Amino acid sequence: MSQATTEKSLYAEHIAARQRTTEAALAATKFDALLISSGAPFTYFVDDMDAPLHETPHFAHWVPLRGPHHLLLIRPGHKPRLVRYCPEDYWYEQGPLPENFWVDDFDFHEARTREEAWKLVASAGRVAYIGDEADAARAAGIADTACNHAELTARLDWERSFKSAYEIGCMEEAEKIASWGHRAALAAFDKGASELEIHHAYLTAVGCTEADLPYGTIIAHDEKGAILHYTGKRTQKNGRVLLIDAGAKYLGYASDITRTWTRKDCDPTFRALVKGLDKLQLELCERVTPGLPYPELHRAAHILIGELLRELEVLKISGEEAFSLGLTRPFFPHGLGHFLGIQVHDVSGRQAEPKGGVAPPPSHSPFLRTTRTIAEHQVFTIEPGVYFIEMLLREHRAGPHSAAIDWKLVERLAPFGGVRIEDNVLVTASGHRNLTRSHI
């Protein structure tokens, strides 16, 4: 069977599953149909330039069709109706359908105007709407209370946290594409390239523009690696450390990969930190198993990081004690990971149950994005980090536990910024499958 045939078959299964889960959500919330729009472009404040369009994730969960104003109508017992908005336009290209293996799974129509598109999805009964064109939905007779209905949206978000075989295939392809960029970035770094040059090498290897990436690349030399979402692209060459956090997309699905590389003239203790964190990250991946609450994995990461810092003599106490005293947090201030899929920080990581509610993160880790219990078919990141961030360390310099930290060693390592290692993992029935390590 060819790859195209396999993709088409997996997609048909994916759409059948979406039909089942959406019908169940509609029944639970007493709606007769669901209408989803792909999204509307918007302009920047006091400007005439449109911001880059991110298609409505609920729309993208069904169909990999790019662009604004497309409409999808789902009714129980009917083939989903998809209306592609394709106006006659000499300003912007209206090309043929891309990747049209999916068209046969829909009652497919094309509309030249938005008015025509909305007429094609008119439906009797109590219709719910999801999207950012609520005014158009209300004009079409959809009740205001049915626009982005909280429980219906929550139920669909919950289902998005369990990936189909089609989605996993798309994400694996995104991993492979991103790996081309990471290898090119490392080669450029080894030749002394600047952050900007490494960014360009990444884009060339992936074969896309910046707008086609799932998120802006983080490409940091040395001390800039201590800025978690660093977006600068300096032109200075010959950095001693490269922290690169960059992904790719395939049919709307994202990969999110981070690596930290060092040159031979980097401090040997920092090089040992990079090596130790890579080993630690793999150990955390091995702990992934259904039934484990994700916050427990996050807590384990803190303790292991504390032990690593003790081995390197940055800390003078055990990892468990350091965590209990709050001394691992300034070195590891973010969450261990997040759900991944259509969105880089995919939805429902903190959702309490299918119909909604919030499962808050533990008080010691307010930025943890995932508080769910790990379950089969989830995909999330595992991304421990160690950083030397002065604004977080400052309060501990004169604090009651200052003697537990070797401040001279901290000062020596601070110019190298930080380390982060990130893989994307799929939860299986008995454990996990690392989607990243087979590629990079």
Q: Would you list the domain boundaries of the chain?
A: 3-160, 165-434
- pLDDT of the residue at 346: 98
Mention the CATH class of domain 165-434: alpha beta
Cβ-based neighbour number of residue 278 at 10 Å: 14
pLDDT exceeds 50 at position 363: yes
Residue 11 has pLDDT above 70, yes or no: yes
Position 344: which residue type? V
Provide the β-strand partners of residue 427.
Answer: 432
Report if pTM > 0.85.
Answer: yes
| Residue pLDDT, tens place only, 50-90 | 999 999 999 999 999 999 999 999 999 999 999 999 998 88
Mean pLDDT of all residues in the chain? 96
Averaged pLDDT for residues 366-373: 97
CB count in 10 Å sphere of residue 252: 21
- Beta-bridged to residue 220, according to DSSP, are 243
C-alpha–C-alpha distance, residues 419 and 74, integer Å: 46
Whether 3-160 and 165-434 share one fold: the answer is no
324 burial via Cβ count (<10 Å: 0-12, 13-18, 19+): middle
For 74: left if phi > 0, alpha if psi spans -120 to 50, otherwise beta; the answer is beta
Q: Is the pLDDT of residue 1 over 50?
A: no
The mean pLDDT value for 133-156 works out to 97
Q: For 101-105, 179-183, 345-349, which range has the lowest pLDDT when averaged over its residues?
A: 101-105
pLDDT of 94 > 50? The answer is: yes
Residue 267 clears pLDDT 50, i.e. is over it:
yes
- Among residues 439, 296, 322, which one has the least CA distance to residue 386? 322
For the CA atoms of 164, 168, 174, 180, the dihedral, rounded to the nearest 10 degrees, stands at -170
Can you say how many angstroms the Cα of residue 370 is from the centroid of all Cα atoms in its chain?
12
In the prediction, which pLDDT does 32 show? 98
Q: Per-residue pLDDT averaged across 119-148, rounded?
A: 96
**What is the mean pLDDT of the segment spanning 188-209?**
98
In this structure, how many other beta carbons lie within 10 angstroms of the beta carbon of residue 147? 18
* Terminal CA-CA length for the chain: 27
The Cα–Cα gap between 63 and 427 comes to: 24
Per-residue pLDDT reduced to its tens digit, 317-336: 999 999 999 999 999 999 99
pLDDT exceeds 70 at position 99: no
pLDDT of residue 369: 97
pLDDT at 259: 98
> CB–CB of 171/179 below 8 Å?
no
Model confidence band, residue 98 (pLDDT cutoffs 50, 70, 90): low
Q: What are the tens digits of pLDDT across the range 291-319?
A: 999 999 999 999 999 999 999 999 999 99
Question: Is it the case that residue 263 has pLDDT exceeding 50?
Answer: yes
Q: What percent of the chain has pLDDT over 70?
A: 99
Which whole number is the average pLDDT over 22-39?
98
pLDDT greater than 60 at residue 270: yes
Averaged pLDDT, 401-421? 98
The CATH number corresponding to 3-160 among 3.40.50.10470, 3.40.50.300, 3.40.605.10, 3.40.350.10 equals: 3.40.350.10
